[in-house]
A and B are shown apart, each in its own frame.
Chain A
C-alpha cells in the first residue's frame, strides 16, 4: 500500500468511496489511475463481474496499488473538520486473510459441514466464483453456536458433531481434547450446559451432545494404540526453567498441569489421596464413571511430563516456595461433607456422602446388606449415594429433602434414574433428630415443610403443623453439601479465607494475597461445582500462572466475545427446511437392564453404537454454519485461517468522500448514483484536476548493467524440497551460472516469502532473479485467470522494485512428476528447468510489459488479434493508416491474440511462442502426454493431482497456458515433433468462458493438421471441464489413459 507511513489502523487517502456497485468501482479506478490514493468501503464480501468482459476491471480494482478496498465493511462515523473528512470504518471479522489465501482449496477438502445447494452441496467454506474478485475463500460463520457459547471451556460441539457425521472420529477427538483433557469423563457425567442451550431443543429435544462426546471418547479409547501419543503435544515445547506445584489432582489441578507443561513449565502435582482424579475419582460412583477411563485420561496428562505425587498431602505452602517452586496452584477442591447439627448426628451409623463414596471408590468393604438406608439431601450427590447404596445390598433406599421434587437441585434425569432403580423419595421435609435405640440409628424425625428456597444461604420455609413423623432407617447418610477442607492453611497466614470457608482468591485469575500462589475451582467457589467448571477454572488459573511466570500482569487483555448465533423463529424454520429436518426424538442412551445392573458397580450407560451416534449427529442444526471444527486451520499451508478473527476498526482521513451506494448519502456528502458510470468518470476527472495529480504509469524499466542475477528456490513447505534436493540444485546452478545470490525460501507465495525475496533483491543488489516455485508462476504475466494471491510475490518484486523475476515451475513439472519414484531425476530435471530460466534472464532482453505486446515491425495490421480479443483490449486505430494498439489497462494477458497472429508480432507479454517452445523442450515430453492446461478448467488437474499427492492419472507433463485460447497447432505439432505420445488441451466448458470458441476453433484446426500427419484422435484430445471439478478431471484423464493404451 502506498499509505505505509501511517500506523496500520489509521490511514490517509485522497478519496474515500462508499459503495460496491459499478459507479463506485469505476470511480475508484479512474481516481487511482489518475494518481489518487483511494480507500473504498463496501459491505460486499467480494465483487462479481456480470460477464467475462468486466472481470479484468475487478482484478484491477482489487490489485491496484493505489486502491485499498475494505470488504464487508461499513462506516460507523463520519465527520469533517477543517476540510478533512474522517471516517470510522468497521470491518466484519475476516476469517480468511485475503493477503495470505492462495485459493488452493485445501480448506474445503477438510470442511465437514455440508450445506445443501440444489442437488449438490457446498461447505462452510466456499471457493470464490469464476467471475469473482478477489480470489479468496470465504468462511460462512454467523457466529458461535449456542452449545459452544454455553460451555465453560467453549467445546466446539457443533464441530465434533460435524466430524462425527463424516466419521472422522480421530479428528473429532483431537478437537475435543484441544479444550478439554477429559472427554471420557465429560462424555459421561458432564452437566452439559450445551444441551440446555441447544437450538434443536426448540424443535423437539436437544441434540445428545454429551452422549456424542462419549461416543468419540469411547472410540478413541478403543483405538488408543493408533492415536498419536500424548507426548506429541510437548514435542516442540521449549522448557521455561520454571517450576509449578499444583496441590490437588482433580480436574482443575490436572487441567492446569497439562496447560502448564505445554507452556514449558515443570509441574508437580501433589495429591493427598492414593489415587488421582479428585472428586471425579472418589466422589462419583464407578457405575457412572468407571475408574479405567479416569486412569486413562490422567495417564495421558502424566505422559506429557507432569510429575504426579500421590499420598502427598501438602500442609505448608511456604515450604513449597522454599523448595524452589516458582508458583503454586491450590486446587484442593471441596472434600469436606457437611452434617446438620441435629441430635443423633454423631451416631456411628450416620455417615456423610463423601465418606461412603470414598470408601467405595477406594475399594474399602462396605456392607449394607439388609439395611434400610435413608439419605438426607436432594442434590446429585445424594442421588449418587442412593444409587450406590442400592448396589451395596441395602434392603431399601430412600431420600428425603427440603425441596419438592421440582425444586430439587438434582438433575431430573439423575432423579429419574434413581427412582427407576427403586429409590424412594420423601420430599418437602426438614430433619429434627436422628432417632436411635441402644446407640443404634432407628430413623429420622421429620416435619413436612413449605419450602420456598434459600435466602442468604438459609432455607425460607414454614413447617406444617402436625406433620411430625419418623422415617425409619438403619443407616443415615448426609448429602447436604460440601465445602473445602482448608486445614492446611494456617488461619493467620498470608492467604485469606472467606467467611464461607473458602480460599480468598480472584475468581477470574486465581491470584491470592500471596505472591506466586493461586487458587481456583471448588477450593475458591465453595460448594461442589461441576467437572466442566473445574476444567474451565484450571485453564484460567494456568493462564494466570503462565502470565505470572513470564512477568506479565495478572489482568488479561479483555477477551472479545464472539457473537453467539441466535436463530430467529423464521431462520430456524428456514434452517429446518434447508436440511429437510423432521421433528423426532433424540436417540436413547442404551443402558444395562435393571435386573442385572444392581449386582455390582458396573457402568450403567453403555454409550451409543456408531449407527446411533451418526443418527444423533445428524440432528444438529449447524447453527453457526461453520462449526469451528478447526480442521481447516492446519490444512491451510498459508496459515491464512483465523477462526478467532474479530471486527476490525480503522479510521481513514480523506480529502473527499464520495457516496456511490444504493443507500441515501449522509448530509453534506457528495453522491453519485450507484449505477451512473458516466458521472463517475466525469467526477474523477474533475477531482484529479482539482487535486492537480499526475498519473503514474506502472511500467517496468529494463534493468541496467550486465545483471546481478539471483536464484530463489521455494521449498513449498516441503512439498518441493522433500522430493528435490534444493541444496544440490543451488550448488549446480551456482557452478553453471554467475549468480550474485542464492536463497531457499519456505513459501514464495506467502507475504513473508515475498518480503524475503524483495529484501534479498535490495540486500544483494540484484537486478533480476529466477524464482523456482510452483505452477502458474511459470508464466509470468498479469492474468485474469491467476489468483491475485499467487501474484503477490511477483508484485513485491515487479511492482515495488520493478525488476524482472523469471518464474520456473519445479513443483508440478519436477517434484510431482517424480514424487515417490526418483528424487534424483526430479532434482536433475529441476536443475534443467531452472537453467532455462537463468539462460533466458542472461540472454533475453526483458520485455517492458506484462500485458500483450506488439512488435511493430512484424505487425501487418491484419486485425485478426482484434477479433480474437474477448475484452476489447485491442483496437484498430486509424491515424492515416490502420494500426493495432493494446490497451494495457484492459488487457489480461490471456494470449488469445498471440495464438492467431500470423506473424508472431503479437505476444502475450513474456510468454512468447519461443518461451513456450523452450518450456516444451525443457519438460522432456518424449513418450509422454503433453497437457496444455488453461488456468481455469485445466487448473483443476495439476492443483488437485498435486494436492492429494495422487499420481498423475496419465504419464503426463504439463504446460500451463493462461487460457486455452492461447493454444495453437504450432504448440501441438512441436510437442509431437519432440516425441510426445499425445497432446491434450484442457479448457473450460462451453459457455463458461468467452475464449472457449477460440480454443475450440484452434483445436479443430490442430486436429485437421494432425490427421494429415497420421495423428488421430487417440493421440489428440480436448477436455472441457468446469474449474474445480477434480472428479470430472480425473475421470476424463482415466478415460484418456484407457483410450491411449488401446491405441
Chain B
C-alpha cells in the first residue's frame, strides 16, 4: 500500500508540498470552519501516515473544486491526489463515501454499470427534431433522473434537455440522442469506484464511437470533462470533439447562426461551475451567450477563477459545512441585485435550490435560479410553445 501511496505522491506532485497552507486558506470547507485541510491531508501521507489516512473521513470530504490547486506554489495537483486516494481507499481498504440522497444516485449508476440493464430515458423528446445519424450527439447525462428525484425542490431536469435540443434545432443542428447512453461515470470515479467508472465509460465510448457523429455536446460540465479528459485517461478516447453547450451557443451567436431576441432580459449573475471554469477554463462562453441574449450581467464577489464552489460534489459527503458554503454563495448572488442566478451546471442548480429550500434561510436567499439553456431557450425566436 505504501508503494502505491508513494507513487501517488510522485504522480500528483504532492511530495513537493511546501506545507505553506495557501491551499487551506482558500479551501471553501476550511473557510467555513470544517476541520478539513488540504495541507494536512497531503502532509499526513507525505509523513507516511497513509494507512490511517485512507480510513479517515478527510479522504471523502474534499469538494474537488480545484481552488487550492490554483494557488499552490509547488504545483501539487491536489484534487487528483484526492481522487487517487479515494480509489486506493476503496480498492485497498474497502472504504466508501457516505452517499447523499439515500444512495439513490449511486444506485442508478451501479445499475447502469451492470450488464443487461436497458434504459428507457427518451420520454422527453416529443416535438423535438432528433436525428439518427447527425454529426452531433447530445449527451444528456442524468437529467431525466433528476425529475423524479428533485421534483420537490423544482430543479430543472429534462427542461434543460429540451432547451438544449431546441437551441440546437434553432442553430440548425438535429442532434442524435442515444437511447442506451449511460451515466458518464464521473461521480463514481470521484467516489473511488474505478471499476464502476470503467464500465460506464466503456459503454458510452462504444456508443459514441459507433454513432458516426463528429462531436458530442453536453449541458453538464462534469459530463464534458469526463468525456474529454477522464475517458481518454482511464479507458479510451471517444474520438469525438467534446463541447459544453455554452461553447456552441457562444460560437453560434457570434457567427450569427443563432439569433436570440435581444430585448432587455433584466440583470443576471452567473455562477462559474468548478468543472466548467477551473477545470476547463470555459469562463467566457456562458457570459457571451448571456450578453448575446440581452441580459445585463453582474458579477458576484467571487467569480471566474476565484468563484466559490456550489458546495458539494459526486453526491457524497454533504452536510452542515456544505450548506454554509451554499448559503455564502447564494448571499453573494443576492448581493449583486440580479434577478436571476444563472448556472451552466445542473448539479450546481440542484445544490443551490436545496439550500434555498430551508425555511430558516428561504426568505433572505430567495432568488430565481435557472440553467443557462432554459433561460436562453425563452429567447428563441419561435419561443412560446415551450413555456
Q: Is the CB of A970 within 8 A of B103?
A: yes
Tell me whether B277 is interfacial, beta carbon within 8 Å: no
Contact with A along B323-362 (1 / 0, CB 8 A): 1000000000000000000000000000000110111110
Contact with A along B138-167 (1 / 0, CB 8 A): 000000110111010000000000000000
Q: Is the CB of B119 within 8 A of A1013?
A: yes
Q: Is the CB of A1009 within 8 A of B108?
A: yes
**Once the chains are docked, how many angstroms separate the CA of A863 from the CA of B354?**
11
- Chain B contacts for A685, CB-based, 8 A: none
**Once the chains are docked, how many angstroms separate the CA of A916 from the CA of B114?**
21
A820-868 interface with B by 8 A CB criterion: 855-863
Tell me whether A168 is interfacial, beta carbon within 8 Å: no
Tell me whether A677 is interfacial, beta carbon within 8 Å: no
**Once the chains are docked, how many angstroms separate the CA of A1013 from the CA of B111?**
8
- Chain A contacts for B118, CB-based, 8 A: 1014
**Once the chains are docked, how many angstroms separate the CA of A461 from the CA of B102?**
99
B74-110 interface with A by 8 A CB criterion: 98-104, 106-108, 110
Q: A973 contacts which of B107, B151, B361 (Cβ < 8 Å)?
A: B107
- Chain A contacts for B101, CB-based, 8 A: 902, 970
Given contacts A977-B110, A1009-B149, A1013-B117, contact A861 B322 (CB under 8 A): no
**Once the chains are docked, how many angstroms separate the CA of A642 from the CA of B320?**
57
Most chain A CB within 10 A, of B110, B111, B148, B151, is at: B111
Tell me whether B321 is interfacial, beta carbon within 8 Å: yes
**Once the chains are docked, how many angstroms separate the CA of A859 from the CA of B324?**
11
- Chain B contacts for A1008, CB-based, 8 A: 147-148
Q: Is the CB of B102 within 8 A of A970?
A: yes
Given contacts A1012-B120, A1013-B112, contact A970 B144 (CB under 8 A): no
- Chain A contacts for B111, CB-based, 8 A: 973, 976-977, 1013
Q: Is the CB of A903 within 8 A of B120?
A: no
Residue of A nearest to B144 (CB): A1012
Tell me whether A913 is interfacial, beta carbon within 8 Å: yes
- Chain A contacts for B320, CB-based, 8 A: 856-861
Tell me whether B121 is interfacial, beta carbon within 8 Å: yes
Q: How far is the CB of B99 from chain A (nearest CB, A)?
A: 7
Q: Is the CB of A899 within 8 A of B102?
A: yes
Q: How far is the CB of A860 from chain B (nearest CB, A)?
A: 4
Tell me whether B318 is interfacial, beta carbon within 8 Å: yes
- Chain B contacts for A882, CB-based, 8 A: 358-361
Chain B at the A interface: mostly helix, strand, loop or mixed? helix
A27-41 interface with B by 8 A CB criterion: none
Tell me whether B127 is interfacial, beta carbon within 8 Å: no
Q: Is the CB of A855 within 8 A of B354?
A: no
**Once the chains are docked, how many angstroms separate the CA of A902 from the CA of B150?**
10
Tell me whether B319 is interfacial, beta carbon within 8 Å: yes
Q: How far is the CB of B9 from chain A (nearest CB, A)?
A: 28
Tell me whether A230 is interfacial, beta carbon within 8 Å: no
**Once the chains are docked, how many angstroms separate the CA of A924 from the CA of B103?**
19
**Once the chains are docked, how many angstroms separate the CA of A1046 from the CA of B188?**
35
Contact with A along B282-325 (1 / 0, CB 8 A): 00000000000000000000000000000000000011111100
Q: Is the CB of A904 within 8 A of B360?
A: no
Q: Is the CB of B102 within 8 A of A1014?
A: no
Q: Is the CB of B149 within 8 A of A974?
A: no
**Once the chains are docked, how many angstroms separate the CA of A904 from the CA of B102?**
6
Q: Is the CB of B360 within 8 A of A881?
A: yes
Residue of B nearest to A878 (CB): B360
What is the size category of the interface that chain B forms with chain A?
Answer: 35 or more
Q: Is the CB of A858 within 8 A of B318?
A: yes
- Chain A contacts for B100, CB-based, 8 A: 902-904
Given contacts A861-B360, A902-B100, A977-B110, contact A855 B119 (CB under 8 A): no
Q: Is the CB of A863 within 8 A of B358?
A: yes
Count of residues in A whose CB is under 8 Å from the partner chain: 38
Residue of A nearest to B312 (CB): A903
Q: How far is the CB of A97 from chain B (nearest CB, A)?
A: 42
Contact with B along A861-881 (1 / 0, CB 8 A): 111000000000000101001
Q: Is the CB of A969 within 8 A of B358?
A: no
Tell me whether A467 is interfacial, beta carbon within 8 Å: no
Q: B358 contacts which of A860, A899, A976 (Cβ < 8 Å)?
A: A860
Q: B359 contacts which of A856, A858, A859, A863 (Cβ < 8 Å)?
A: A863
B56-79 interface with A by 8 A CB criterion: none
Residue of B nearest to A860 (CB): B323
Q: How far is the CB of B336 from chain A (nearest CB, A)?
A: 24
- Chain B contacts for A972, CB-based, 8 A: 107
**Once the chains are docked, how many angstroms separate the CA of A971 from the CA of B107?**
8
B183-215 interface with A by 8 A CB criterion: none
**Once the chains are docked, how many angstroms separate the CA of A881 from the CA of B151?**
27
Q: Is the CB of B119 within 8 A of A968?
A: no
Q: Is the CB of A859 within 8 A of B319?
A: yes
- Chain B contacts for A971, CB-based, 8 A: 102
**Once the chains are docked, how many angstroms separate the CA of A971 from the CA of B111?**
12
Tell me whether A238 is interfacial, beta carbon within 8 Å: no
Tell me whether A917 is interfacial, beta carbon within 8 Å: yes
Tell me whether A905 is interfacial, beta carbon within 8 Å: yes
Residue of B nearest to A1013 (CB): B111
- Chain A contacts for B117, CB-based, 8 A: 1013-1014
Residue of A nearest to B323 (CB): A860
Q: Is the CB of B318 within 8 A of A970?
A: no
Q: Is the CB of B104 within 8 A of A969?
A: yes
Tell me whether A1005 is interfacial, beta carbon within 8 Å: yes
- Chain A contacts for B359, CB-based, 8 A: 863, 876, 882
- Chain A contacts for B121, CB-based, 8 A: 1012
Q: Is the CB of A862 within 8 A of B102?
A: no
Given contacts A977-B114, A1005-B149, A1013-B108, contact A861 B120 (CB under 8 A): no
Q: Is the CB of B319 within 8 A of A905?
A: yes
Q: B99 contacts which of A904, A976, A977, A1011 (Cβ < 8 Å)?
A: A904
Q: Is the CB of B354 within 8 A of A902?
A: yes
**Once the chains are docked, how many angstroms separate the CA of A899 from the CA of B357?**
18
A242-257 interface with B by 8 A CB criterion: none
- Chain A contacts for B148, CB-based, 8 A: 1005, 1008-1009, 1012
**Once the chains are docked, how many angstroms separate the CA of A944 from the CA of B355?**
46
**Once the chains are docked, how many angstroms separate the CA of A323 from the CA of B65?**
103
Given contacts A973-B108, A977-B107, A1014-B120, contact A860 B318 (CB under 8 A): yes
Q: A858 contacts which of B102, B151, B319 (Cβ < 8 Å)?
A: B319
**Once the chains are docked, how many angstroms separate the CA of A1013 from the CA of B148?**
13
Q: B103 contacts which of A860, A863, A917, A1011 (Cβ < 8 Å)?
A: A917
**Once the chains are docked, how many angstroms separate the CA of A1012 from the CA of B107?**
13
**Once the chains are docked, how many angstroms separate the CA of A857 from the CA of B321?**
7
A870-921 interface with B by 8 A CB criterion: 876, 878, 881-882, 899, 901-905, 913, 917
Given contacts A860-B358, A882-B359, contact A903 B318 (CB under 8 A): yes
- Chain B contacts for A859, CB-based, 8 A: 319-320
- Chain A contacts for B361, CB-based, 8 A: 882
**Once the chains are docked, how many angstroms separate the CA of A882 from the CA of B363?**
13
Contact with A along B239-276 (1 / 0, CB 8 A): 00000000000000000000000000000000000000
Residue of B nearest to A857 (CB): B319
Given contacts A860-B322, A878-B360, contact A1013 B99 (CB under 8 A): no
Q: B98 contacts which of A858, A863, A878 (Cβ < 8 Å)?
A: A858
Given contacts A855-B319, A1009-B108, contact A861 B358 (CB under 8 A): yes
- Chain B contacts for A878, CB-based, 8 A: 360
Residue of B nearest to A904 (CB): B98
Q: Is the CB of B119 within 8 A of A973?
A: no
**Once the chains are docked, how many angstroms separate the CA of A567 from the CA of B94?**
72
Complex A-B, nearest 6 residue pairs according to Cβ-Cβ distance, in ascending order: A973-B107, A882-B360, A970-B102, A1008-B148, A858-B319, A970-B103
Listed A/B pairs (9) with beta-carbon separation below 8 Å: A857-B321, A858-B319, A860-B355, A1005-B148, A1005-B151, A1008-B147, A1008-B148, A1012-B108, A1014-B119
List 4 additional contacts besides A860-B322, A861-B320, A1009-B145; criterion CB under 8 Å. A858-B318, A882-B359, A973-B108, A1012-B108
Chain A residues within 8 Å of B, Cβ to Cβ: 855-863, 876, 878, 881-882, 899, 901-905, 913, 917, 968-974, 976-977, 979, 1005, 1008-1009, 1011-1014
